[in-house]
Amino acid sequence: MSAQTYLAYDYPLLSAFWTMLVFFLWILWFVLLFRIIVDIFRDDDLHGWAKAGWTLFVIVLPFLGVFVYLIARGKGMGKREVADARARQEALDSYVRQTAQSGGTQPSHADELAKLSDMRSRGDITDDEFRRAKELVLSGAGPARGSDTVSTVPGR
């Protein structure tokens, strides 16, 4: 055995450290490999054969394939990651705005019809307006998100 091997056996904590380091690097390698494979399939600029070639290169010769991919396409990989994160953030912002405007839940047809019936019984709308508004609600062209039922009644 070499002197370094004896050093690891003389100090068991050093052996545990090296084991954890090797295990961490092994996990890090697989994370990098999977991120590259995901990036290959996410890239819209690559066509089918190019994606197949890069995937085969990364799987058959993993170390060389990953390093060549990072050198050749690493800058674009970062740009695609940023664009994807930006698109996800915009979708979340849009969903939050849409949910905030609608009050969190979309009223059902039965709720809308109950509101219309209540308005008719109070005398706020006529029977003809009630009938037209009911047709709108049942046809799916009812009130817009966050708007009141009265706004869909024609003539008001």
Query: Contact 40/58 with Cβ under 8 angstroms?
Result: yes
Distance of CA 139 to the CA centre of its chain: 32
Judge whether residue 120 has pLDDT over 60. yes
Return the pLDDT at 21.
Answer: 93
The radius of gyration of the chain's CA atoms, rounded to the nearest angstrom, is 31
The pLDDT, as a whole number, for residue 18 is 86
The pTM assigned to this predicted structure is 0.51
Q: Using CA of residue 41, residue 42, residue 48, residue 50, what is the dihedral sign?
A: negative
Is the Cβ–Cβ distance between 18 and 52 less than 8 Å?
A: no
What is the reported pLDDT for 9?
A: 64
The 10s digit of each residue's pLDDT in 139-151 is 876 554 444 444 4
Q: What is the pLDDT of residue 20?
A: 92
pLDDT at res. 26: 93
Span of 18-27, 33-42, 62-71, 102-111 with lowest mean pLDDT: 102-111
Highest average pLDDT, of 20-34, 65-79, 104-118, 128-142, comes from 20-34
